[in-house]
Amino acid sequence: MQLTLHVWRQDSPGKAGRHEKYEARDVSEHMSFLEMLDVVNERLTEEGKEPIAFEHDCREGICGTCGMMINGVPHGPKSMTTACQLHMRSFKDGDEIWIEPWRATAFPVLKDLVVDRSGFDRIIQSGGYISVRTGSAPDGNAIPIRKEDADAAFDAATCIGCGACVAACPNASAMLFTAAKVTHLAKMPQGQTERWDRVLGMVETHDAEGFGNCTNHGACQEACPKGISIDYIAQLNRDLIKATLSAKPEESGKDA
């Protein structure tokens, strides 16, 4: 099939960018979206032009590296699918496709479709650690966990940190990401010791990074390639309220 691409090109951070038009010829419907871009890039390279920069790594939908706005939807039209797992059969011959990077103050564009998502790393870092005995691997079932909690923790842990939630949110909020990371540990017995410090630290870093605030639209959960629910944002809110309003004084016990 033949496609017309409108791709955001930007040479470096802070430089003005623009949309450029490319014709993608002889695209097979079995190609992934990234393979289609590979083919376009190959031609650009042969013509002595700068290829389109985009991030990718595993191409199996599990690393969270790829991600771009495809026709105004993060990761493109197929729900619960990353850009690398999106196939060209989701488009038809003659389609025009607009490809843009995630847009957020906290995700500055580095080049073309590549944005700097290190803000996510700093949110995770501010979540700190969990207190567990290191050394030999613990016995698999030594700590009993309710099935519902294990499932909820696992669902939250499927977040791959791709940034689609921020891209979709009209406020460029990273609440879904932060909520997934907070809940993932808050639902586990191993995450209890630092639970209240963690939620506070992560939310404060979230705000400091310049992400917007959640206005409960729910666009993030539609965009999330892992289908993470905004119920986790409610959990984050509840944990944060508990962590602040009902936290015990630091000095407590007999010596206080």
Q: In the bound complex, what is the minimum distance in angstroms from residue 44's beta carbon to other proteins? A: 21
Shorter beta-carbon distance to other proteins: residue 37 or 214: 214
- φ/ψ of 43, rounded to 5, equals -65, -40
Bridge partner list, 19: 8
How far is it, in rounded angstroms, from Cα 242 to Cα 198? Answer: 12
Q: In the bound complex, what is the minimum distance in angstroms from residue 160's beta carbon to other proteins? A: 18
Q: In the bound complex, what is the minimum distance in angstroms from residue 149's beta carbon to other proteins? A: 12
Q: In the bound complex, what is the minimum distance in angstroms from residue 55's beta carbon to other proteins? A: 18
User: E strands along the chain, which residues?
Assistant: 3-9, 18-24, 69-70, 73-74, 96-100, 109-111, 114-115
Shorter beta-carbon distance to other proteins: residue 38 or 207: 207
CA dihedral 29→31→35→38, nearest 10 degrees, is -50
Shorter beta-carbon distance to other proteins: residue 57 or 96: 96
How far is it, in rounded angstroms, from Cα 220 to Cα 156? Answer: 14
Shorter beta-carbon distance to other proteins: residue 32 or 221: 221
Residues that bind other proteins (CB under 8 A): 6, 8, 19, 69, 71-73, 98, 100, 103-106, 168, 170-173, 200, 203-204, 206-207, 210-219, 221-223, 230-231, 233-241, 244-245, 247
